[in-house]
């Protein structure tokens, strides 16, 4: 999914680092496109608008991200905050899609 770039541990210049970051950002956008596609699918499948927001599921998704980040020795609390924003954005997107298709 990530185009050919220098492995982070093998970078010897800032140009290689920047190319790797840019390629990784493009790959993340591809994954976000897929994630938001699932939000469109959820909007299509859910029977009512009030089922779009699911606080228990939101908490589970954020905790999964936090735990995965911790295992990877990444800043778990920071990434949990990012995931909270991602989930809120996803909910807003799904609500807009639900409204647009009804």
Residue 3 counted as domain residue:
no
CATH number at residue 69: 1.20.59.10
Domain housing 92: 12-100
Annotated binding site for substrate: 18, 35, 46, 94
Residue 42 counted as domain residue:
yes
Residue 4 counted as domain residue:
no
pLDDT of residue 1: 66
Residue 71 counted as domain residue:
yes
Give the total residue count for the chain: 102
Two tokens at 36? Answer: 């938001």
**More confident site: 76 or 2:** 76
Burial class (CB in 10 A: 0-12, 13-18, 19+), 96: middle
Confidence of residue 10 (pLDDT cuts 50, 70, 90): very high
Report the number of distinct structural domains present in the chain: 1
Residue 6 counted as domain residue:
no
pTM: 0.91
| Conformational region of residue 73, where left means phi above 0, alpha means psi within -120 to 50, and beta covers everything else | left
Annotated binding site: 18, 35, 46, 94
Rounded to an integer, what distance in angstroms lies between the CA atom of residue 58 and that of residue 84? 8
């Amino acid at each position: 999914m990530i185009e050919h770039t220098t492995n982070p541990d093998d970078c010897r210049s800032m140009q290689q680092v920047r190319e790797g970051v840019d390629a990784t950002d493009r790959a993340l956008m591809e994954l976000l496109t897929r994630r938001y596609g699932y939000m469109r699918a959820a909007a299509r499948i859910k029977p009512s608008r009030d089922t779009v927001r699911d606080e228990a599921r939101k908490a589970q998704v954020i905790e999964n991200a936090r735990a995965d980040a911790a295992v990877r020795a990444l800043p778990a609390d920071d990434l949990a905050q990012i995931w909270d924003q991602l989930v809120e954005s996803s909910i807003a997107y799904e609500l807009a899609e639900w409204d647009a298709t009804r």
